[in-house]
Amino acid sequence: MSNTTADHREASLWRPLGDGRVECALCSFRCKIAEGRRGICHVRENIDGRLTSLNYGRVIAAGIDPIEKKPLFHFLPGSLSYSIATAGCNFHCLHCQNAAISQVGKNAPIEGIYREPNKIVSEATALGAETIAYTYTEPTIFYEYARDVMELAHKAKLKNIFVTNGYMTEETLNDMDGLLDAANVDLKTFNDKTYRKLCGAKLQPVLDTIERMVALGIWVEVTTLIIPTINDSEAELRSIARWISDLSTDIPWHVSAFYPTYKLTDLPPTPAETVRRAREIGLSEGLKYVYSGNLHRDDEGESTFCPGCNEMVIERHGFAVREMRLSNGTCPSCKETVKGVWGVGKL
């Protein structure tokens, strides 16, 4: 990968179209970009007929988090994750809670402080993290940087996590096969028309990504933010739960409460009873692990229960693990296997 400047790199996964335009194959929008223009993410630009990443290494947010905040509940629970992001996003969600850093103007300068990939890995190690999470904004749009960090992370015995909208292409997933260890994928709605209105995207590519991740052996958890009047009907929640269950009953499903933000300030917060009902729906559709989130109170829906005997095997409060009762991934009472990555051994 060639350097232009410290933070401008030739992009990966693109092709020339022969008329000065290029086609980006990083995400499912597959933008066709004229010279001097940017893609829908506003951080990839056609410069002299070559696609360039404008945000390489320009870290806009970084911090240490409990892995439960991603949220990942079945992947090294109780551990710390070093989270990073650059500016930009390929979605334009009306309810984005990180809009200040994700929504870059069409020709705006790219904010952030440049950090070499090895700096990220050394910071993560120094802070006691077991993973690096590519999050806050959509990691697909800083893929070149993320990939370079991921390679170094594995050499340092750290694992890699994407918190993602799931809109990357099959080519992108195949390119990071063996580097990405886990992902939490937002499945925002089960209605294509609503997806377009809410995020400017389509439903099917997200479903395809989840299926491909599972096939590649990536540990996957799914999150649905329940928004009143948008995706909170029982029929829609049941459709999501049934689709996940048909793929694998072992995929954890996080159902979370919405709070008014960005361009959806006219809607009320999600009632706690709606979130709890969504959890009941998921369990009734055969999912073994369904979690309720964003309720800001002690709630059993945050804890993990054995699918065999229903004993609580991981007790949580918020993002904190209060007690881990699993023994090598099995229930201490009935010896049922609880699926996940429990930190037995290292990469």
Instruction: Please write the tens of the pLDDT for every residue from 306-328.
Output: 999 999 999 998 889 999 999 88
Lowest mean pLDDT among 1-15, 121-135, 280-294: 1-15
- Same domain (yes/no): 14, 98: no
- Same domain (yes/no): 30, 173: no
Lowest mean pLDDT among 14-18, 104-108, 203-207, 301-305: 104-108
228 lies in some domain: yes
- pLDDT class for 298, splitting at 50, 70, 90? low
- The rounded distance, in Å, linking the Cα atoms of 324 and 42 is 43
Beta bridge partners of 188: none
340 lies in some domain: no
Q: What is the pLDDT of residue 6?
A: 64
Q: 72-97 burial, b for 16+ CB within 10 Å, e for fewer?
A: bbbbbbbbbbbbbbbbbbbbbbbbbe
Q: Which amino acid is at 148?
A: D
Residue 2 scores a pLDDT above 70:
no
Q: How many domains does the chain have?
A: 2
Residue 347 scores a pLDDT above 60:
no
Q: What is the pLDDT of residue 344?
A: 47
347 lies in some domain: no
Residue 142 scores a pLDDT above 60:
yes
Segment 195-217, tens digit of pLDDT: 999 999 999 999 999 999 999 99
- pLDDT class for 345, splitting at 50, 70, 90? very low
> Structure tokens of 331?
């229930």
206 lies in some domain: yes
Contact 294, 223 (CB under 8 A): no
User: Mean pLDDT across the chain, nearest whole number?
Assistant: 94
Q: What is the pLDDT of residue 318?
A: 82
- Same domain (yes/no): 133, 238: yes
Residue 29 scores a pLDDT above 60:
yes
- Same domain (yes/no): 38, 157: no
Segment 7-17, tens digit of pLDDT: 688 899 999 99
331 lies in some domain: no
- For 41, the domain range is 9-53
- Same domain (yes/no): 196, 305: yes
- Same domain (yes/no): 318, 192: yes
3 lies in some domain: no
Taking residues 169-198, what's their average pLDDT?
A: 97
Residue 144's CATH number = 3.20.20.70
69 lies in some domain: yes
- pLDDT class for 5, splitting at 50, 70, 90? low
- Same domain (yes/no): 42, 176: no
- Same domain (yes/no): 190, 47: no
227 lies in some domain: yes
